[in-house]
Amino acid sequence: MKLPRFALLGALRARRTYAGWKRPAKFERNLVVIGAGSAGLVAAYIAATLRAEVTLVEKHRMGGDCLNTGCVPSKALIKSARVLAQIRRATEYGLTSVHAEFDFADIMERVQRVVRTVAPRDSVERYTQLGVECLRGEAKIVSPWEVEVRGADGGARRLTTRAIVIAAGARPLVPPIPGLDRIGCLTSDTLWDLRTLPPRLAVLGGGPIGCELAQAFARFGSRVTLVEMLPRLLPREDLEISERLAQRFREEGIEVLTGHRAARCELQDGRKILVCEHAQGETRIELDALLVALGRVANTEGYGLEALGIPTSAQRTIATNEFLQTLYPNIYACGDVAGPYQLTHTAAHQAWYAAVNALFGGWKKFRVDDSVIPWATFTDPEVARVGLNETEAQARGVPYEVSTYDLAELDRAIADEAASGLVKVLSVPGKDRILGAAILGEQAGELIAELVAAMRHGIGLNKILGTIHVYPTLAEANKYAAGVWRKAHAPQRLLGALQRFHAWRRG
């Protein structure tokens, strides 16, 4: 059978890539997965479900960052802080006096209890029962079809495999700020060891991690200073949402310093100081602890990419094609190590493609569909987003209409004393097709799901408006946002004719 031209070129390119490497005559495994975080767990699960022989290698803890230092512990911490904040607002709910006492060490122990409760779902025992061979150790790719696993005892084991999935995750980015080594810093990986609340906490970074943790620690009683180099918090979000959230932070006592760049750290007579540069000069922040929350960098070193010549991208992630293949067609990468989104749910989403393509790519491959990717920042109020926002639409020259509904008008939000926020939907001019949506408000991360489904399956605002929503719920906000769009596109000529018709009937 004659191959199509593009397939023939691909085959020739792959042949050149594999030149110099000896392919094993047979393979012990169908798949070896490196990394047991969200992406690696899903990839291994899918391979085992499809009855493949799969080995999962993890050098640290099963569950990766999400379970141990990311999503799970941070949301547990945020929940405790939120309960405390609601108690302090007791008078708003008609309660005369409510008081809460707590020990920060107890809060952090609760966080670890939550992690321990979730952990069995990501455990070696569970995945072994599912048919996955789980190995503890450091993996190194020594050829396109071989992975060496070195255990803690120094012993090494070499596995042959038809395909490899790299799901090595990412780590906190700590920049080389002069003097940082003298005062030390916390990251989203290390702060979980705290048992004493820092009286003065500086948070470096106004992205999702920095904003979530800054608000949580402020609610526990730390005097928090949030430092962001860019002109606003959450720069990927809608401008109005960023401004509203910053105002909420200031109302809660957080000092928000945007347009400030961390220049150096100083240690003077035992006092820790962060020096920031800005347009008007310098600001000196005295602190007890510094939390660096400037994002995460992909783990691309130490497991063989260099020897194989597998390139990385400008974003410092492993370079992949639309099928998540690396330079070597049988080696795939997914999750944080591949990007472009460092989100647990996108890691799991990519893992399906990586696993299925790795197992069946010789017959059928699937292009990754990342056209509708939602995310949320779990501040209070929450921020959720999918698709384009106004800033991006303007930058790309994409025409759009905007329909905004303010939660101050929503009955349930008023009843819950949560009438602060908005739903903003961008649509194609003159049509009800959704280009993107942003929500600021109570349970925004839950509310966005309806709009994500609408975008993914081509459901327009008219159908959302025509869907019965339970009253009174926060979810009605999506319906009312669709109603704003419908009102803006009301058929004025027809309505004028109806007005004349009704006047005629009245005589």
Hunting for tokens 């509904």 — which residue is that? 405
Domain span at 16: 5-62+123-171+297-360
Q: Are strands 29-34 and 54-58 parallel, antiparallel or unpaired?
A: parallel
One domain, residues 348 and 279: no
Residue 289's pLDDT is what?
Answer: 97
Identify whether 412 is part of a domain.
yes
Model confidence over 299-329: pLDDT tens digits?
A: 999 999 999 999 999 889 999 999 999 999 9
One domain, residues 339 and 411: no
Q: Which among 247, 277, 295 is the end of a domain?
A: 295
One domain, residues 238 and 325: no
One domain, residues 145 and 274: no
Q: Which among 274, 295, 316 is the end of a domain?
A: 295
Identify whether 75 is part of a domain.
no
Residue 9's pLDDT is what?
Answer: 60
CA geometry: angle 129, 132, 133, nearest 5 deg = 110
In 10 A of CB 187, how many CB atoms? 18
Q: What is the CATH classification number for the domain harbouring 411?
A: 3.30.390.30
Q: What is the CATH classification number for the domain harbouring 141?
A: 3.50.50.60
Identify whether 456 is part of a domain.
yes
One domain, residues 409 and 445: yes
> Which stretches of 89-222 are assigned E, i.e. beta strand?
132-136, 138-143, 146-150, 156-166, 170-172, 200-204
- What is the total count of domains within the chain? 3
Q: How far apart are CA 233 and CA 260, in angstroms?
A: 11
Polymer length in residues for the chain = 507
Residue 34 Cα to chain centre, angstroms:
21
Which has the minimum average pLDDT: 16-25, 294-303, 344-353?
A: 16-25
One domain, residues 443 and 475: yes
One domain, residues 11 and 142: yes
Residue 37's pLDDT is what?
Answer: 95
Q: What share of the chain is helix, strand, coil (3-state, %, to 5)?
A: 40, 25, 35
One domain, residues 419 and 472: yes
User: Could you tell me the CA-to-CA distances from 441 to 186, 206, 254, 344, 373 in Å, in that order?
Assistant: 29, 19, 19, 22, 19
Mean per-residue pLDDT, 46-70: 95
Q: How far apart are CA 295 and CA 318, in angstroms?
A: 17
Identify whether 24 is part of a domain.
yes
Mean per-residue pLDDT, 76-95: 95
Identify whether 369 is part of a domain.
no
Identify whether 242 is part of a domain.
yes
The token duo for 259 is: 């347009």
Model confidence over 183-224: pLDDT tens digits?
A: 999 999 999 999 999 999 999 999 999 999 999 999 999 999
In degrees and rounded to multiples of 5, residue 340 shows phi and psi of -80, -10
Mean per-residue pLDDT, 105-124: 97
Q: How far apart are CA 245 and CA 343, in angstroms?
A: 21
One domain, residues 160 and 197: no
H or E stretch covering 382? strand 382-387
Identify whether 217 is part of a domain.
yes
Q: How far apart are CA 475 and CA 478, in angstroms?
A: 6
Q: Side-chain half-sphere of 305: how many Cα atoms within 13 Å?
A: 24
Sheet holding 401-406, edge to edge: 374-377, 382-387, 434-441, 422-427, 401-406
Q: Which among 295, 317, 339 is the end of a domain?
A: 295
Model confidence over 402-439: pLDDT tens digits?
A: 999 999 999 999 999 999 999 999 999 999 999 999 99
Please report the DSSP string for 472-484 in residue order: S-TTHHHHHHHHH
Q: How far apart are CA 401 and CA 428, in angstroms?
A: 6
Identify whether 442 is part of a domain.
yes
One domain, residues 283 and 431: no
Q: How far apart are CA 229 and CA 206, in angstroms?
A: 8
One domain, residues 222 and 276: yes
Nearest to 72, CA basis, from 344, 259, 286: 344
335: left (phi over 0), alpha (psi -120 to 50) or beta: left
pTM (2 d.p.): 0.93
The token duo for 262 is: 């961390």
One domain, residues 386 and 459: yes
